[in-house]
């Protein structure tokens, strides 16, 4: 009987972390003798290897209630609504230990499990099964008191508290409470942490929560049969964008997420248009990602919406003249590595 690995992810197609879990499962299935499957809170793909923990009407309602409950709970603590998605308390979650995928698995592999899927209590129940746990970190959340990226804060190296994301920071604020909950359940766990970049691995090793656990760096898998150079004219034709313009590409799961730096992109475009007005007839923008509406921009823009089809994403990379990444903080995102394969520097 082959070794069985169960991956856990809030979704299988909502951003880079969930796509990373799905692509890893596909790679394990294709290139290793391991038997693998993914347990999610919300299934969005047709993959037979992915199963929602509870796909019933009642299960979906409970998942939505957990998600909404956490957001409402956090609202009383958060400093500003601009930071609404920068912090997760992991207060509510499912006990998934009764699921066959969990019962039969030899190895449990966590990915991005926030938004009401798994809580610290859920983690404790998984750890109590005494099975090896691997946790792939897609941001800093696993070793902080709630934030996904700490910026210039290094409180996670000692004990979180006085959190800059909270309205009333103190040494015993919500971030410290979450840090203590995590420490209690993570310290005794048979836990191996995986970072998708050396930068994140270094930060994890410096953290008070993970300094005594094994931390390794393994990049995200990318399908080189999909992300490869495509003829620029063909890519632009299929995307229905101009053939003879310089296209500047901006891409993110959520375009308006503050960490992605769209405001800096907009400011740079405005300065370029003011300094070089002739570029208004030469340059257009190519943007893909979820947004509630783009602000007024000095150049004509083509918004492709949220892209989940890898082949369409690869076309967007190949269609672009230049790709701009003004992110304030990143963990070697898929966009950078995919772009290097689909539109290598030349």
Query: Taking the alpha carbons of 73, 78, 84, 88 in that order, is the dihedral positive or negative?
Result: negative
Per-residue pLDDT, 345: 55
Per-residue pLDDT, 241: 95
Contact 57, 133 (CB under 8 A): no
Please indicate, yes or no, if residue 49 is contained in any of the structural domains. Answer: yes
Cβ atoms within 10 Å, residue 75: 11
Q: CA distances (Å), 189 to each of 124, 146, 148, 172, in order?
A: 8, 19, 22, 25
Please indicate, yes or no, if residue 224 is contained in any of the structural domains. Answer: no
Please indicate, yes or no, if residue 222 is contained in any of the structural domains. Answer: no
Backbone angles phi, psi at 136, to 5 degrees: -85, 120
Contact 228, 314 (CB under 8 A): yes
pTM metric for this prediction: 0.89
Same domain, 336 and 281: yes
Same domain, 89 and 193: yes
Per-residue pLDDT, 334: 82
Same domain, 191 and 241: no
Cβ atoms within 10 Å, residue 339: 23
Structure tokens at 263: 């405001």
Per-residue pLDDT of the chain (346 residues; tens, 9 = 90+): 789 999 999 999 887 889 899 999 999 999 999 999 999 999 999 999 999 999 999 999 999 999 999 999 999 999 887 777 889 999 999 999 999 999 999 999 999 999 999 999 999 999 999 999 999 999 999 999 999 999 899 999 999 999 999 999 999 999 999 999 999 999 999 999 999 999 999 999 999 999 999 999 998 888 889 999 889 999 999 999 999 999 999 988 888 878 888 999 999 999 999 999 999 999 999 999 888 778 899 999 999 988 888 899 999 999 999 999 998 877 777 888 888 888 765 5
Same domain, 250 and 112: no
Per-residue pLDDT, 295: 85
Residue 255: domain span:
232-342
Same domain, 40 and 168: yes
Per-residue pLDDT, 15: 79
Per-residue pLDDT, 340: 84
Same domain, 200 and 110: yes
Please indicate, yes or no, if residue 227 is contained in any of the structural domains. Answer: no
Alpha carbons 320 and 260: distance in angstroms, whole number: 19
User: CATH number for the domain including 136?
Assistant: 3.40.50
Burial of 188 (0-12, 13-18, 19+ CB in 10 A): exposed
Query: Cβ contacts of residue 265 below 8 Å, gap of 6+?
Result: 250, 324, 326
Number of domains in the chain: 2
Contact 163, 88 (CB under 8 A): no
Structure tokens at 41: 């809170």
Look at the chain and count its residues: 346
Per-residue pLDDT, 341: 86
Per-residue pLDDT, 344: 60
Contact 241, 226 (CB under 8 A): no
Query: Taking the alpha carbons of 281, 283, 288, 293 in that order, is the dihedral positive or negative?
Result: negative
Per-residue pLDDT, 94: 96
Q: Which residues of 45-73 are buried (b: 16+ CB within 10 A; e: fewer)?
A: bebebbbbbbeeeeeeebbeebbeebbee
Same domain, 193 and 242: no
């Amino acid at each position: 009987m082959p070794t069985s690995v169960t991956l856990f992810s809030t979704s299988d197609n909502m951003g880079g972390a969930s796509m990373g879990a799905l692509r890893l499962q596909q790679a394990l299935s294709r290139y290793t003798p391991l038997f693998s499957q993914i347990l999610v809170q919300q299934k969005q793909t047709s993959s037979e290897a992915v199963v929602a923990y509870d796909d019933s009407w009642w299960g979906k309602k409970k998942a939505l209630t957990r998600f909404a409950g956490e957001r409402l709970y956090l609202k009383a603590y958060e400093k500003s609504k601009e930071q609404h998605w920068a912090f997760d308390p992991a207060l509510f979650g499912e006990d998934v230990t009764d699921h066959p995928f969990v019962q039969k698995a030899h190895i449990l592999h966590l990915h991005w499990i926030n938004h009401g899927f798994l809580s610290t209590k859920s983690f404790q129940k998984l750890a109590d099964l005494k099975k090896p746990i691997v946790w792939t970190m897609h941001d800093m959340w696993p070793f902080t008191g709630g934030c996904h990226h700490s910026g210039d804060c290094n409180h996670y190296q000692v004990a979180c508290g006085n959190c800059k994301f909270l309205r009333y920071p103190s040494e015993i604020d919500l971030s410290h409470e979450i840090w203590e909950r995590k420490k209690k359940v993570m310290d005794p766990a048979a836990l191996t942490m995986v970072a998708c970049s050396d930068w994140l691995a270094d930060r994890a090793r410096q953290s008070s929560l993970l300094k005594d656990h094994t931390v390794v760096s393994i990049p995200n898998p990318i399908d080189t049969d999909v992300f490869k150079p495509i003829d620029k004219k063909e890519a632009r034709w299929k995307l229905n964008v101009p053939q003879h313009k310089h296209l500047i590409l901006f891409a993110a799961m959520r375009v308006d997420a503050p960490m992605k730096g769209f405001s800096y992109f907009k400011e740079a475009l405005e300065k370029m248009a003011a300094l070089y007005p002739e570029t208004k007839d030469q340059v257009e923008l190519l943007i893909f990602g979820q947004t509630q509406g783009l602000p007024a921009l000095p150049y004509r823009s083509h918004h492709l919406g949220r892209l989940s089809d890898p082949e369409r994403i690869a076309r967007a990379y190949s269609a672009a003249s230049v790709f701009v990444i003004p992110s304030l903080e990143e963990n070697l995102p898929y966009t950078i590595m995919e772009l290097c394969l689909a539109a290598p520097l030349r």
